[in-house]
Amino acid sequence: MSNRSTVTEFLLLGFSDVRELQILHFVLFLVLYLATLMGNLLTISAIVLDHRLHTPMYFFLGNLSITDLGSISVIVPKSMANSLLDTQLISYPVCVAQVFFFVVFLEADFVFLTIMAYDRYIAICQPLHYERVMNRRACVNMAGTAWITGIVYSALHTGNTFRLPFCQANIVNQFFCEIPQLLKLACSDSDLSEVGLLAISLFLAVCCFVFIIVSYVQIFKAVLSMASEQGRHKAFSTCLPHLAVVSLLLFTSMFNYLKSTPSSGSSLDLAVGVLYSVVPAMMNPVIYSMRNRELKAALKKLCGGYSSTITVSVIVP
């Protein structure tokens, strides 16, 4: 241990060394970040202000928007600042915080998507029991469980990662602090507790995925047996956006962690990092608003009221 130097900061992978391209990266990420903020904030505002959306499905959708806002806010501003200031540095404490909060929001995101699949299953396959099963107390308990699960899971994962010794190598092969990339910088070999925790993570992800798939198999069976075409359309309009969001997040995350890491180049790592950490958070409001008529109507009402307020304030100073 005496020959090892303690790492106090890490170097994140930049998108380019050319100053013009760094500015372009800053502008592109700024546009993506602002679009994500606007989309998710509009979704949350519509759900809070429109009493017609005070239902379990939209309650969980609001929480999902919060996780999207959190996950992208943890990693994108730091990358933008590094490009603008022409640096790659991130301090050790900031890296720890980035890992912890990103994993919290990502894990909570998965849990909320699983809960939303269960909510749709009860609403479509057991409609007579919906109000009893998905009552206010049950919804609050499920949301609390999702957040607590994310915090506990992240604390274990972050603690097991940063208790490993880091030596002279401090270049993270990603534009944010990512656990798989950090583990490659550790001085010691694969730690048994970390391997066990990764196995638990895979087990939980598979369980959530299987639960979602089974729920949707039952949902589609029930939808296809409906005699009313309007009922089928309404069921599909609420289920298909959720299924699209699940597929987008799941497959981009799986591609990131199952890709050939040792042989992958820096450009591939950056592209995959953007694909699973930035794109889902930006696309979720678009996917839901495109297919969901109730949310679309609430967003139009919200935007219409906001524009009317601006017009009145301009006309009557």
Domain boundaries, the chain: 9-306
Q: Where are the alpha helices (DSSP H) in 262-292?
A: 266-277, 279-291
What pLDDT was estimated at residue 280? 83
CB atoms inside a 10 Å sphere around CB 315: 7
Helices (H) and strands (E) in the chain, counts: 11, 3
What pLDDT was estimated at residue 6? 72
Q: Which CATH superfamily includes the segment(s) 9-306? A: Rhodopsin 7-helix transmembrane proteins (1.20.1070.10)
What pLDDT was estimated at residue 122? 92
Phi then psi for 183, rounded to 5 degrees?
-65, -30
Torsion (CA) 237, 242, 289, 254 in degrees, nearest 10: -140
Separation CA 242–CA 98 (nearest Å): 27
Phi then psi for 91, rounded to 5 degrees?
-70, 160
80 within 8 A of 28, measured Cβ to Cβ: no
What pLDDT was estimated at residue 219? 85
Separation CA 95–CA 306 (nearest Å): 39
CA atoms within a 13 Å half-sphere pointing along the CA-CB vector of 295: 26
What pLDDT was estimated at residue 233? 72
Low-confidence ranges of the chain (pLDDT < 70): 1-5, 188-198, 227, 231, 234, 238, 254-266, 290-291, 304-317
Q: HEC states along 45-88?
A: HHHHHCHHHCCHHHHHHHHHHHHHHHHHHHHHHHHHHHHHHCCC
Give the helix/strand (H/E) hosting 165: none
What pLDDT was estimated at residue 229? 73
